[in-house]
Structure formats: structure tokens, C-alpha cells
Amino acid sequence: MSDLEQMRRRRKRAHGRLTALKSPVYASFLELEKAAYREGALSARTKLLAGIAVSVAVNCEACMQWHVEEAARAGAGEREIVEMIEVAIKMGGAPAVVASRVAFEVMEQVFKTRDAQ
């Protein structure tokens, strides 16, 4: 099993546990997530792309995975995702270059899978 698949499973397992435990903090977080990505002046796709840049800049691997997958699911193309990663590199410098490797790995997996369908 790939590192990305392991990360996805850990993320989903934690989601399931927090949901089953009826965590009020986690429930609030999920509501915040819905509100943040709701269509508004910016499209949900644009907001998910921005999330990629922030995820890379703060080096949150699980966040990068989720945002890349969700942005692609929302119709974002490879070039749009690359440009968001480039924004993160500009803002985060060398540490963001290192962190971006995870986002590129997720992109490879997402677009290879989508192109194979």
C-alpha cells in the first residue's frame, strides 16, 4: 500500500472515530469546512485551489492530499494545481519546495487515475 493510500486511510479512520464519538469540536470544524468551501464570490473550486497553496506553505501533508483530490474532483486541471503550488513556493521559499513533493505525488495519482478511466 502506498504512503498516500495509508495517509488517506488514517485520515478517514480519524474522521470516523471523531464522528462516532460525536465530538462537538469536530462537528463544528466540519460545519466551518462546509461554510469555507461554499460557492460565493469565489467558486468552491477556486477556494480548494487556494487550500492547496496554504497546505503546501504550512507543510500539511494530509491537507495537501485532501485539497488536491478535492480540487481535481471539482474540475481543477493539473496546470491550475501546479500554479497554486508555485504560489506556495513563492510565499514559503525552500521549505515549501520540499513540502510540495507530496502535492505532486497526489497529483500524479489523481490525474493518472482520472486519465485511465
pTM equals 0.85
Alpha helices in the chain (DSSP H): 3-20, 24-36, 44-58, 61-73, 78-116
The pLDDT of 26-55, averaged and rounded, is: 96
CA-based R_g, the chain, Å: 15
Domain residue extents for the chain: 3-116
What are the pLDDT digits (tens) for 79-92? 999 999 999 999 99
The Cα–Cα gap between 50 and 21 comes to 31
What are the pLDDT digits (tens) for 53-69? 999 999 999 999 999 99
3-116 placed in CATH 1.10.3470.10: no
Q: Which element (helix H / strand E) includes 4?
A: helix 3-20
What are the pLDDT digits (tens) for 8-24? 999 999 999 999 999 99
Task: Give yes or no for residue 112 having a pLDDT over 90.
Answer: no
- Model pLDDT, residue 19: 95
107 contact partners, CB below 8 Å, separation of at least 6: 68, 72, 78, 81, 82
Q: Which element (helix H / strand E) includes 67?
A: helix 61-73
The pLDDT of 25-34, averaged and rounded, is: 95
